[in-house]
Amino acid sequence: MKRYLTGIKPTGRAHIGNYFGAIKPAIEFSKQQDAENFYFIADYHALTTLQNKEDMIEYTYEIACTWLACGLDPNKVVFYRQSDVPEVFELNWILNNVTPKGLMNRAHAYKAIVERNAEAGVTVDEGVNMGLYNYPILMASDIMLLDADCVPIGLDQKQHLEIARDICHNFNLKYGNILKEPQYYIEDNTCTLLGLDGRKMSKSYNNTIPLFCDEKTLQKTINRIVTDSSLPTDPKPLDCVINKLYKLFASESEQKVMDEKLSTGIGWGDAKKELYRVMNEYIAPMRTKYDYYMSHRDEVDKILEDGAVKARKIATKTLQRVRKAIGVN
């Protein structure tokens, strides 16, 4: 049976771009037969930038409840917090020592900051902490600790997986075939959602539609979608942001009716009302679950603790193997 593992960073409220681009495909992926799935909340990766106690607690629950509400089944997926599996930090230290510094210098996230600093005329390492610099090694540790066969990721994480494979290779070259070399899988049929202003929906552009908020906020947010000043009777382009979003939530027959209305003329206000209706209908059952978990945090803790117990069973075995191989047992 193949073992799949992936990490989820708690970085604030999920938006519908995260849902269609990452959460939904990963949950569907976890439902395949003959696979073991390990999905974890990478809270110690978030610590590189998230350095406020209240936000750390809140974001961690928000992301855990979001995934549970969206259909992650704890019986099918071992769901845990990275920080509940302390073995990862011992492996992390060990892997530090087979990782050339130059490999980290070439990591995209670090390189981007260095380049930005150079352009701004400040010292190259301004604003870089060692956690950020070593981020890819911790990620390699997450993966190899659990003997993962394959890591489903978004395209933005590809370099991190190449680095993990390099680190694995370096270790095995020195100590024998001890660590499993991870493959990765990039889902290529995910879509990129556009935000309120027509650019890619992203927290960094502040143009998102939150996945879980109250109905009034959802309605108000949809009303902020930027449109032009055409009259209700004017035909509208079928590839407008409103229609692109509509297609994700509406049935085929509803989509046909909307296409028809846009071609012959419908006011933007009415189109937004109709978008709100289908979106709310789609999200409401998940929102109910989300609200339930957010107010039953002990249940969430229990799920994550159970997951950590399962993950640690594998982790301790890997670590024993590694310690023996390097001669510290």
Binding site for ligand ADP (CB under 6 A): 11, 17-18, 20-22, 154, 192-193, 200-204
Distance (Å, whole) CA 47 – CA 33: 34
Retrieve residue 21's tokens.
Answer: 């681009």
Residue 95 interacting with ligand TRP (CB under 6 A): no
Q: Which does 42 bind (CB under 5 to 8 A by kind): ligand ADP, ligand TRP, none?
A: ligand TRP
Residue 30 interacting with ligand TRP (CB under 6 A): no
Residue closer to ligand TRP by CB (options 40, 61) is: 40
- Asked if 66 and 14 touch (Cβ cutoff 8 Å), the reply is yes
* Distance separating the N- and C-terminal Cα atoms of the chain: 30
- Coil, strand or helix at 49: coil
Residue 157 interacting with ligand TRP (CB under 6 A): yes
- Asked if 199 and 237 touch (Cβ cutoff 8 Å), the reply is no
- List residues bridging with 177 in a β-sheet: none
Residue closer to ligand TRP by CB (options 81, 272) is: 81
Q: Which does 321 bind (CB under 5 to 8 A by kind): ligand ADP, ligand TRP, none?
A: none
Distance (Å, whole) CA 258 – CA 238: 9
- By DSSP bridging, strand 2-8 and strand 35-41 are parallel
**Per-residue interface string for the shown chain with ligand TRP, residues 110-149, x marking contact by CB under 6 A:** -----------------------------x--xx------
Residue closer to ligand ADP by CB (options 148, 168) is: 148
Residue 9 interacting with ligand TRP (CB under 6 A): yes
User: For ligand TRP, how many residues bind (rule: CB under 6 A)?
Assistant: 12
Residue closer to ligand ADP by CB (options 118, 191) is: 191
- Coil, strand or helix at 53: helix
Q: Which does 200 bind (CB under 5 to 8 A by kind): ligand ADP, ligand TRP, none?
A: ligand ADP
Residue 151 interacting with ligand TRP (CB under 6 A): yes
CB atoms within 10 A of CB 301: 14
Retrieve residue 152's tokens.
Answer: 């489903």
Distance (Å, whole) CA 209 – CA 217: 9
Residue 46 interacting with ligand TRP (CB under 6 A): no
Q: Which does 143 bind (CB under 5 to 8 A by kind): ligand ADP, ligand TRP, none?
A: ligand TRP
DSSP state of 194: B
Residue closer to ligand ADP by CB (options 199, 296) is: 199
We find the least distance from the C-beta atom of residue 43 to ligand ADP, in angstroms, to be 14
Residue 107 interacting with ligand TRP (CB under 6 A): no
Distances in Å between the Cα of 274 and the Cα atoms of 178, 186, 210 are 57, 34, 18
- Asked if 251 and 55 touch (Cβ cutoff 8 Å), the reply is no
Q: Which does 6 bind (CB under 5 to 8 A by kind): ligand ADP, ligand TRP, none?
A: ligand TRP
| Residues in the chain, total | 329
Residue closer to ligand TRP by CB (options 175, 185) is: 185
What's at 282, amino acid-wise?
Answer: Y
**Site of interaction with ligand TRP (CB under 6 A):** 6-7, 9, 42, 45, 139, 142-143, 151, 153, 157, 160
